Chains A and B, each alone.
Chain A
Amino acid sequence: MEHRKIRGNVIDIHVAIQGPSDGPIVLLLHGFPELWYSWRHQITGLAAQGYRAVAPDLRGYGDSDAPAEISSYTCFHIVGDLVAVISALTENKVFVVGHDWGALIAWYLCLFRPDKVKALVNLSVPFSFRPVDPSVKPVDGMRAYYGDDYYICRFQEDGDIEAEIAEIETERVMKRILTYRTPGPIIIPKDKSFWGCKDESIPLPSWLSEEDIAYYVSKFEEKGFSGGVNFYRNFNRNNELLGPWVGSKVQVPTKFVIGELDLVYYMPGVKEYIHGPMFKEHVPLLEEPVVMEGVAHFINQEKPQEILQIILDFISKF
């Protein structure tokens, strides 16, 4: 596996690359609070099948740069980084696989730069339109629906969640989040009860090892969580800036997969959207969405071989 830094959108983006240099590129985009490492199984699997797997640490994460200003984390900044990564590696279109924030960014990459994406496999987060009238801000909507302790609301105030996390071991934070299986919203009351007791160990599932956790811990201890949390702090700003794409469609062939226990599946309107006509209306080249039984949010780590196979089966068509 090769590790490289690519600069094209003003900052350095760290990428992990594996696979033949002439292989079709598959760009793998992680979510929160993850890293390129979340794709470790798919990277080796894709490379073995002749693809060139490219997994960046997104801006703010791991070994990529993390600008200090919150305003540097709009979806446009992140898509800009990925356009630079793609352009540095190839003139052709690439395959894209996204999960969580990576999936949301992938939708935007397809909207802004359909000239760069051959086909898309997106996990967990379906497409969502900017409403015609932007006067209801997304975070206000979430606050009204779930309350102030909803994790996205708790992430808004600069420095707030960082201070809370600083009082809890990074290892506990990572384990708590990566093992979250409740098919419902993450509510983080200010009493820190969400993180559990210091003496209560958090058992790891079969698909997550102590070494895996140690890798995440080392990177998040070095970088902190602000970079990743800053993505959430731009929900409202993104909404303001997405006016040009009202009514626009994602014109990229797409495969969508979500875990049946994924908290996203239980967010207001999501089930109806995924199974109703609007998803296909907005993404005309969408294949029938797949709901994976018994699987929670971190689907590419929980079911690595199944996800790898889904990716291979889909991209082999193009």
Chain B
Amino acid sequence: MDLTFDHSFVKVNGIKMHVAEKSPSVVGNGAFDGVISRPVILFLHGFPELWYTWRHQMLALSSLGYRTIAPDLRGYGDTDAPESVDAYTSLHIVGDLIGLIDAVVGDREKVFVVGHDWGAIITWHLCLLRPDRVKALVNMSVVFDPWNPKRKPISTFKSFYGDDYYICRFQEYGEIEAEFAKVGTERVLLELLTYRNPGPILLPKGKRYEDPVSLPSWLTDYDVKYYVSKYEKNGFTGPVNYYRNMDRTWELMGSLSNAQVKVPVKFIIGDQDLTYHMPGTKKYIENGRFKSHVPLLDEVVVIEGVGHFLHEERPDEISKHIHDYFLTF
């Protein structure tokens, strides 16, 4: 499977980034050499995933003529994971992505972007900070959450869901990593990737993971092995550090207070996604507030019966949504 993707390493924003690419081959035709333009889609994964989560979309969309590019984000997979816990704010990650677009596409070029989970959060920020680099966006699972001076993230989560809420449990440096190590990488990944409860993820200390986990149809043994191999090598610290920087990012994003996302957007979410059931989200989408912050929000798609990892659960449907939308640009 790996063989059908091109892998490279790019120096961006002070780190070395691993990038997977699947692009239609440019067959020289004399007069047309170098002139064929292939629109670029940048795919941004979430937690606890990797570039690999986009394999289906990359195969489908590259065969339709797109250059598809999926990095491992900072801290993940084969990309560098800086030691310092405070090197994982949105500004760091967006800086990486600007460097990536400059290096792999061109320093005046715009790209299409597809984001999911943390990749969606980062993409909202990418669009706020550098709308000049994003042609259009398909974002999934996590709505745009405008900056609020009265809502510091971690204390807000604590007040909604309590200390056992996974994001609260992720805060103390080294703590959840030690617990995950006891449970085992494969078991942790399986628990998270197969999570289908529309409620919040609660991880009380000493929680036992004994019930057997059966793989859903959309996750093969090979897929699991791939994820496990990367997470066993690097551990969870890099990815978890994103959560440890939610308050830091919030402090910095006061500078973008009341800024609108000025990029055309299609938003897709599964109605079994835990994010869809977070307090206020449904109303936020339905009563027009989402659109007031994202004025170019062209379409919101709620897919019935689909959970958090919607692009893995319904790959063809998602690929079609992406292609149909980007075709209009």
Which A residues lie at the B interface, using CB under 8 A? 8-10, 72, 74, 76-77, 79-81, 83-84, 87, 108, 112-113, 115, 132-135, 240-248
A72 touching B251, Cβ below 8 Å: yes
Q: Among the listed A79, A84, A112, A247, which residue makes an inter-chain contact with B98, where contact means beta carbons less than 8 Å apart?
A: A247
> Is the C-beta of B200 less than 8 angstroms from some C-beta in chain A?
no
Closest Cβ–Cβ distance, residue A250 to chain B (whole Å)? 13
A112 and B257 contact, Cβ closer than 8 Å, known pairs A76-B252, A241-B91, A244-B98: no
> Is the C-beta of B196 less than 8 angstroms from some C-beta in chain A?
no
Docked complex Cα distance between A166 and B57 (Å)? 63
Closest Cβ–Cβ distance, residue A112 to chain B (whole Å)? 5
A113 touching B256, Cβ below 8 Å: yes
Residues of B within 8 A of A134 (CB): 13-14
Residues of A within 8 A of B96 (CB): 243
> Is the C-beta of B59 less than 8 angstroms from some C-beta in chain A?
no
Closest to B129 in A: A244
Closest to A251 in B: B132
A115 touching B259, Cβ below 8 Å: yes
A243 touching B107, Cβ below 8 Å: no
Closest Cβ–Cβ distance, residue B35 to chain A (whole Å)? 25
Residues of A within 8 A of B149 (CB): 8-10, 84
B257 touching A243, Cβ below 8 Å: no
Residues of B within 8 A of A81 (CB): 254
CB within 8 Å of A: which B226-256 residues: 251-256
Residues of B within 8 A of A72 (CB): 251
A87 touching B254, Cβ below 8 Å: no
Docked complex Cα distance between A244 and B130 (Å)? 7
B257 touching A84, Cβ below 8 Å: yes
Residues of A within 8 A of B87 (CB): 240
Closest to A131 in B: B14
Closest to A241 in B: B91
A133 touching B14, Cβ below 8 Å: yes
Using A72-B251, A113-B259, A243-B92 as known contacts, list a sample of 14 further A-B pairs with CB atoms less than 8 Å apart, ordered by residue number in A: A9-B257, A77-B252, A83-B254, A83-B257, A84-B254, A113-B256, A134-B13, A240-B87, A241-B252, A243-B14, A243-B91, A243-B98, A244-B98, A247-B102
Residues of B within 8 A of A84 (CB): 149, 254, 257
Residues of B within 8 A of A87 (CB): 257-258
Closest Cβ–Cβ distance, residue B258 to chain A (whole Å)? 6
Residues of B within 8 A of A8 (CB): 149, 254, 257
- Closest A-B pairs by Cβ, 3 of them: A243-B95, A80-B254, A76-B252
A241 and B92 contact, Cβ closer than 8 Å, known pairs A8-B149, A247-B102: yes
A242 touching B95, Cβ below 8 Å: yes
B254 touching A76, Cβ below 8 Å: yes
A248 and B130 contact, Cβ closer than 8 Å, known pairs A9-B254, A112-B255: yes
Interface string of B80-111 (1 = CB under 8 A from A): 00000001010110111011001000010000
Docked complex Cα distance between A77 and B253 (Å)? 8
A244 touching B94, Cβ below 8 Å: yes
Interface string of B254-268 (1 = CB under 8 A from A): 111111000000000
Docked complex Cα distance between A245 and B129 (Å)? 8
Residues of A within 8 A of B255 (CB): 76-77, 79-80, 83, 108, 112-113
Q: Among the listed A10, A242, A243, A245, which residue makes an inter-chain contact with B254, where contact means beta carbons less than 8 Å apart?
A: A10
A243 and B99 contact, Cβ closer than 8 Å, known pairs A8-B149, A248-B132: yes
Q: Among the listed B14, B89, B130, B257, which residue makes an inter-chain contact with A80, where contact means beta carbons less than 8 Å apart?
A: B257
> Is the C-beta of B11 less than 8 angstroms from some C-beta in chain A?
yes
B102 touching A246, Cβ below 8 Å: yes
A-B contact pairs, 20 of them (CB 8 A): A9-B257, A76-B251, A77-B252, A79-B255, A80-B253, A80-B255, A84-B254, A87-B258, A113-B256, A132-B102, A133-B11, A134-B13, A134-B14, A241-B89, A243-B14, A243-B95, A243-B99, A244-B126, A246-B98, A247-B98
Residues of B within 8 A of A240 (CB): 14, 87, 91-92
Residues of A within 8 A of B252 (CB): 74, 76-77, 80, 241
Closest to A108 in B: B255
Closest Cβ–Cβ distance, residue A283 to chain B (whole Å)? 15
